[in-house]
Amino acid sequence: MINVLVTGGNGQLACCIKDVEVKYENLNVIYTDSQALDICDINQVQSFFKSHDIDYCVNCAAYTAVDKAEEEKELAFKVNAEGAKNLALACKEHHVVLIHMSTDFVFDGTKTEPYTEEDQSNAISVYGASKLQGEIEIQNILEEHFIIRTSWLYSEHGHNFMKTMLRLAEIRDEISVVSDQMGTPTYAGDLAKIILEIIIEKSKDFGIYHYSNEGGSVSWFGFAKAIFEQTRIDIKVNAITTEQFPTKAKRPAYSVLNKEKIRSKLNIEIPDWDLSLEKALSKKIRLI
């Protein structure tokens, strides 16, 4: 039996891991939220690891309020950097493999071709900087780690762009969506499978990996259009610029991730984003 700790147990990725892990008989998964395990408290983290037999720790806990982080910098760094450091220290002491979730926001978005794991990071928001610092803390402490950077995460669970678009469509007949930020959506259900495959296969190819769905890049406007087309929702979607929709935090204008490393090292197939969107939408509809 492989014992797995999943932090951030109420988040959308952890919920997707719950959906997927039932297919694996030899996994024993413990899910914790901030009440059960505050990763910002080193003493609590150490105590938890001492009292539980853990083989893998999947860190889904994060401060993800991108705009709010500009005003709550200390809290963002406490969760995303100090929390990651605490888990890395405990994992090192107890010989646990850490699988840590990171983000495309560690990049500034000035490239015009997909970002590789070797590209220079340069966060342009507090959120991005806090996640980047978390990566650095882990790399400085622990050799046995996987850092998975992902982008535009969504699912039938939690709060995300897909669910926001569906909610807005219930109360409006017209919306405006930014069309000059390019990326690739990631279905959390697909990412959950990759995480569990790393664990089941007991991979030793530690390091930083990029993961999002395939199928090319798309803007938020294009993603919204696809959501409404697949659900046959009749709503007018207007394309606007980032300048027309100002936010407190800067977003990368281009954050497409190159997945060649994770595909070749871990020998995986990555679904196209439009097919995964169809799957997520069908599950969302079944949950209603």
Residues 6+ apart with CB under 8 A from 279: 187, 189
Q: pLDDT band for 283, please (50, 70, 90 cuts).
A: confident
Question: Could you tell me the CATH number of the domain that includes residue 261?
Answer: 3.40.50.720
Tell me, yes or no, whether 232 lies in a domain.
Answer: no
pLDDT classification of 22: cutoffs 50, 70, 90: very high
Q: Is the pLDDT of residue 43 over 80?
A: yes
* Residue 151 covered by a domain: yes
How far, in Å, CA of 177 to CA of 237, rounded?
7
Q: How far apart are CA 118 and CA 120, in angstroms?
A: 6
What gap in Å lies between CA 153 and CA 136, rounded to an integer? 22
Structure tokens at 237: 């979607």
Q: Give yes or no for residue 19 having a pLDDT over 60.
A: yes
pLDDT at 193 over 80: yes
Stretch 244-254: mean pLDDT, rounded?
Answer: 96
Computed over every residue of the chain, the mean pLDDT equals 96
**230 domain-assigned:** no
The SS3 call for residue 152 is coil
Please determine, for residue 288, whether its predicted confidence score (pLDDT) is greater than 50.
no
**Residue 285: inside a domain, yes or no?**
no
Q: What is the mean pLDDT of residues 118-134?
A: 98
Left if phi > 0, otherwise alpha if psi is -120 to 50, otherwise beta: which for 238? beta
* Local structure of 10: helix, strand or coil: coil
Percent over 90 (pLDDT), the chain? 97
Range of the domain at 199: 2-159+186-217+252-273
Q: Is residue 287 predicted with pLDDT exceeding 90?
A: no
* Total of domains in the chain: 1
Element (H or E) spanning 154, and its range? strand 153-154
In the block, residue with structure tokens 């699988």: 99
The answer to whether the beta carbons of residues 61 and 34 sit under 8 Å apart is: yes
- Tell me, yes or no, whether 199 lies in a domain: yes
What's the pLDDT score for residue 284?
A: 73
Residue 194 and residue 93: Cα distance in Å, rounded? 26
Tell me, yes or no, whether 233 lies in a domain.
Answer: no
Closest CA to 183 of 164, 210, 202: 210
Residue 235 inside a domain? The answer is: no
Residue for token pair 């007018």: 236
Contact (CB, 8 A) for 83 and 39 = yes
Q: Could you tell me if residue 132 is inside a domain?
A: yes
208 pairs with which residues across the strands? Answer: 147
Does residue 40 surpass a pLDDT of 50? yes
**Mean pLDDT of the region 16-37:** 95
- In this structure, how many other beta carbons lie within 10 angstroms of the beta carbon of residue 163? 18
Query: CA 209 to CA 127: how far, in whole Å?
Result: 19
**Model confidence pLDDT, tens digit, residues 144-188:** 999 999 999 999 999 999 999 999 999 999 999 999 999 999 999
Residues serving a catalytic function are: 127
**Is 54 buried (19+), middle (13-18) or exposed (0-12) by CB count in 10 A?**
buried
Coil, strand, or helix at residue 59?
Answer: strand
How far, in Å, CA of 226 to CA of 154, rounded?
Answer: 14
Question: Is residue 285 over pLDDT 80?
Answer: no
pTM of the predicted model as reported, rounded to 2 decimal places: 0.96
